[in-house]
Amino acid sequence: MVASSPSGQAKWSSKTAFILAATGSAVGLGNLWRFPTEAGTNGGGAFVLLYILCVVLIAAPLLLSETLIGRHGQRSTIGSAVHLARQSGASPAWSAMAVLGLIANTLILSFYCVVAGWVVYFIGTSGMGLFEAISGGNALGGAYPEQSPESIREMMPALFANPGLLIGMQSIFVILTILIVARGVKGGIEAAAVWLMPAFFFLLIGITIYAAITGDFARAVNFLFSPDFSRITEPGVMSSALGQAFFSLSLGGGAMIAYGAYASKDTNLGSTSGTIAFADTAVAIIAGLAIFPIVFSVGLQPDAGPTLMFQTLPTAFHLMPGGAIVAFGFFVLAFFAALTSSVSLLEISVGWITEKFGVSRSAAAWGMGLVIFVLGVLSALSFNILADQRPIPFIPGFENAGWFDAFDGITSKLFLPLSGLVTALFIGWVADKKIVNAETGLTGGALSMWRFLVAWLCPLAVTAILVLGMFPQLLG
Ligand code: PFF
């Protein structure tokens, strides 16, 4: 039986609005915080090269697959997957990828709000620093004029040691996300993206120019673009690059199915997916070119890990002229990016709950927001009270991971690629070819190439990387 299209489905007001919202989902802490962290700890150029290959050959084709499932279904992520499966005469069990995705994205949003909470905190501290700089008559001086590099480095550990403060910051961000999603697709999500994304690009370009002028740009370019080829075959680097490609393009969880569902029939999904993938990758690389010159110029190391953005950068901003303004601008930028992504993460479950249970959007947003908040508390507490807990020691590679690392690692390295794998098999082999091909907007060689990548390369490469990531000993 073929279900009829739901009436009253919300729509983006234009193709540009769709591109801005989807790019807003893709561009986020994944680009500003996770990409530099992963590049910094996985050997720089080797990781960047693998990452770009993963985006072009695996993630971008899957981005088109997800948006077309959504646009064709005009329903929630799970509803759209079931719809296409039924229309193709296949088992609705293929929607398993959307179910797995919904779970993955709920977990992602839980720790995402914790990191975004750190951003909120650093907007506060850098804002106070800027105020001190201005009132001290040196508005163009370094960040945190009243502090020493040592005390700046201590801000992050001090925040981590304070569960109340961590949870407080996290809740501010959760509530903002709920309020936007509760206002709906046009009035909330689209309006936020249309205002925040241009502001984001403006700030990013400003900071990159600043980094190029005042920082060690040549060293950063060398670090990001000259690969150490001995690291390219490391399974850990491969699975990190693939996981980052999924995370950064908001794939595998259904965000792009959800946003695709609000796209109008005359939007060419092939070209818009290409634009979104290109914009997201460009932002990641530009962010690297903004962050690493600053880090190198004051003699700091690129491999600090997750604290790079919150410990290394603030210290660098302290030592640099104009750092007070730039530090504040940088954290505001990160906040805008995080918010346009977190709303897409919440929309996935809210869209499904409103469709399935007929509750209001606002009730669904507050209800899911609460679940996400509670799960996030586990991540927040894994830096202090629950620091000794190891939730998934039985999964290879996660023996020593606390709640935060477990949620982050298991979603990006396992759930998202797994869900992406099922999507590739579904679109490449199972779903009705006529429907799928017509939805892509692609023709000729581009269509054949896309079909080849989705049907063959994505499943094979994702499986290989998943297996090697879990069992690196296979490579000897
Ligand atoms: N792509 C976002 C980022 O790079 O920060 C994170 C994200 C959003 C992941 C939406 C998954 C998702 F469904």
| CB-ligand 1 contact for 327 (6 Å cutoff) | no
Percent of the chain's residues with pLDDT above 90: 85
- Judge whether residue 305 has pLDDT over 90: no
Q: Which domains does the chain have, with CATH numbers?
A: 15-448 (1.20.1740.10)
Distances (CA, A) of 305 to 129, 280, 302, 453: 24, 21, 8, 33
Asked whether the beta carbons of 353 and 368 are under 8 A apart, the reply is yes
The helix (run of H) or strand (run of E) holding residue 273 is: helix 269-297
Residue with tokens 């690291």: 231
Ligand 1 centroid – CA 136 distance (Å): 40
- Judge whether residue 271 has pLDDT over 80: yes
- Judge whether residue 476 has pLDDT over 80: no
- Judge whether residue 7 has pLDDT over 50: no
Ligand 1 centroid – CA 248 distance (Å): 5
Ligand 1: which of 25, 55, 343 to mutate, most ligand atoms within 8 Å of CB?
A: 25
The amino acid at 115: V
Q: pLDDT tens, 430-447?
A: 999 999 999 999 999 999
Q: pLDDT tens, 359-390?
A: 999 999 999 999 999 999 999 999 999 999 99
- Judge whether residue 6 has pLDDT over 80: no
| CB-ligand 1 contact for 26 (6 Å cutoff) | yes
Task: Tell me the average pLDDT of the chain.
Answer: 93
- Report the distance separating Cα 167 and Cα 256, nearest Å: 29
- Report the distance separating Cα 101 and Cα 99, nearest Å: 5
Asked whether the beta carbons of 346 and 177 are under 8 A apart, the reply is yes
Q: Which residues contact 385 (CB under 8 A, 6 or more apart)?
A: 163
Residue 108 burial class via C-beta count within 10 angstroms: exposed 0-12, middle 13-18, buried 19 and up: buried
| CB-ligand 1 contact for 21 (6 Å cutoff) | no
pLDDT level of residue 301 (50, 70, 90 thresholds): confident
Rounded average pLDDT over 89-108: 96
Ligand 1: which of 276, 335, 345, 348 to mutate, most ligand atoms within 8 Å of CB?
A: 345
**Coil vs helix vs strand at 112:** helix
The helix (run of H) or strand (run of E) holding residue 98 is: helix 96-135
- Judge whether residue 8 has pLDDT over 60: no
Atom from ligand 1 closest to the CA of residue 342: 8
Distances (CA, A) of 201 to 18, 133, 221: 17, 26, 21
